[in-house]
Amino acid sequence: MVAVIPARGGSKGVPRKNVRRVGGIPLVARAIAAAQSSASIDLVVVSTDDEQIAAIAKEWGADVVTRPAALAGDTASSESAVLHALEVLDGVGVDAGILVFLQPTSPFIDSRDLDAAIDLVTRGAHDCVFSAVESYGFLWAVDDVGTARGVNHDSSVRPRRQDREPHYLETGAFYVMDAHRFRSARHRFFGRVGLVEVAEHTAIEIDSEEQLAMAQAIAVQRDHSAESVDAAAVVTDFDGVHTDDTALLGADGRELVRVSRSDGMGIARLRDAGIPVLILSTETNPVVTARARKLRVDVRQGVDDKATALREWAADHAIALTRIAYVGNDINDLGCLELVGWPIAVPGSDPLVLAAARVTLSRPGGRGAVRELADLVLRSIRDPDPTTARHDIPSRTERHGS
């Protein structure tokens, strides 16, 4: 059972589309995660011509097949990239029996739907199966002079929905097929074709900035929780994260803020676990200095360009940006949120921050948000996620056990 995800670097409608984020996760990574969550798929492979996509694929535990330039242009078909990937796998002793072809432009693939499609092909009910949504829409076509005509209906008859047979719209999210017959047909539809009906929200396919924005809005509502956060370092904004984003101002100009003692315990536990912590603040304020000293963590404040400061701190500590959890609440955090592997927001954050986040915490700033994040990070240490492990393509010797 081999999943192949074609993801080239070029894209005209949405530049760098396959690395753009939905719910704080690159599109190609979302496809990888869906395949890895399947109960049936043995190996996940990304076919790409792009170094950044390849790096993301490896980060998320997929293997990479380098696609030749001739198969990476606008006119190259997805089938050609998949066929090339299968040939490369042949060369290292991987004989794909069932092929699962996923497209990263569909960000909400449900692994249960993948498994349903795989089951249909595995037990011989169909030779290839695709994802589709039920539709009762009246379709029209327009001729050269602008005259419209009904395609799937008689325009003189308007039956009620309950009196009509549904049609099914191909979503483009995934296709499952007998790999050997696909290689003979060289096309994704052959033999006995079946479909798996999927939820309507999973049908969105991103080919424009508007569709990307729609997907990001859907992600905010559907998948912003997490059981754990697999991060090697934690970086936080101060106002609105360690505090409730308000301050008491004295007559002498001094500011007082309210912080959470449970946040302090969370930071202490991170320190004990060897997880570096940084407070990164745009303002310079004695309150921030005092709190960082109390927590015994790094602090950088008075920073106009927080993203650059974050890059420098990560480099100083030899920590990959993809292994950092950054929690913020306002638009000056966006640069950092777009850099890290775990962009995190607190409730009530600016809508752009919520759209950029991979996780939205349940506790607000100043009321346990940092403790909640600390607990999620520590949980990933106790209960590591096996899907984050690197799965190399087996050599011929490994595969045959000789």
CA angle 209, 213, 215 (to 5 degrees): 115
Q: What amino acid occupies position 43?
A: L
Q: What amino acid occupies position 276?
A: P
pLDDT score of 143 more than 70: yes
**Whether CATH 3.40.50.1000 fits 233-384:** yes
Work out the burial of residue 274: count CB atoms within 10 Å of its CB; fewer than 13 is exposed, 13-18 middle, 19 or more buried.
exposed
Give the Å distances, CA to CA, from 68 to 23, 28, 303, 332: 31, 19, 43, 40
Residues 6+ apart with CB under 8 A from 386: none
Judge whether 149 and 214 are in contact, CB under 8 Å. Answer: no
- pTM metric for this prediction: 0.82
Q: What amino acid occupies position 135?
A: S
| 285 vs 121, residue with greater confidence | 121
Work out the burial of residue 147: count CB atoms within 10 Å of its CB; fewer than 13 is exposed, 13-18 middle, 19 or more buried.
exposed
Fold classification of 2-136+167-211+389-398 is: Spore Coat Polysaccharide Biosynthesis Protein SpsA; Chain A (3.90.550)
Number of H helices, E strands in the chain: 13, 19
Give the Å distances, CA to CA, from 289 to 243, 281, 362: 14, 10, 27
The CATH 3.90.550.10 domain(s) of the chain lie at 2-136+167-211+389-398
Kindly report, residue by residue over 315-364, the tens digit of the pLDDT. Answer: 999 999 999 999 999 999 999 999 999 999 999 999 999 999 999 999 99
Token digits for 142?
Answer: 């327009």
Kindly report, residue by residue over 62-84, the tens digit of the pLDDT. Answer: 999 999 888 887 878 889 999 99
pLDDT at 201: 86
What's the CA gap between 373 and 375, in Å, rounded?
5
21-22 and 25-26 beta bridge pairing:
antiparallel
* Mean pLDDT value of segment 112-120: 96
What stretches of 186-260 show up as alpha helix (H) in DSSP?
209-222
Judge whether 82 and 25 are in contact, CB under 8 Å. Answer: no
For 75, other C-beta atoms within 10 Å of its C-beta total 5
The CATH 3.40.50.1000 domain(s) of the chain lie at 233-384
Kindly report, residue by residue over 267-303, the tens digit of the pLDDT. Answer: 999 999 999 999 999 988 899 999 999 999 999 999 9
Give the E-state strand segments of 286-377 in sequence order.
298-301, 324-328, 342-345, 359-360
Token digits for 102?
Answer: 């996923």
pLDDT at 112: 94
Between 81-95, 129-143, 247-261, 362-376, the lowest mean confidence (pLDDT) is in: 247-261
- pLDDT bin (cut points 50, 70, 90) of residue 92 is very high
* Mean pLDDT value of segment 200-218: 91
* Mean pLDDT value of segment 230-251: 93
E strand or H helix that includes residue 208: none
Q: What is the DSSP letter of 102?
A: E
- pLDDT bin (cut points 50, 70, 90) of residue 384 is low
Average pLDDT, the chain: 90
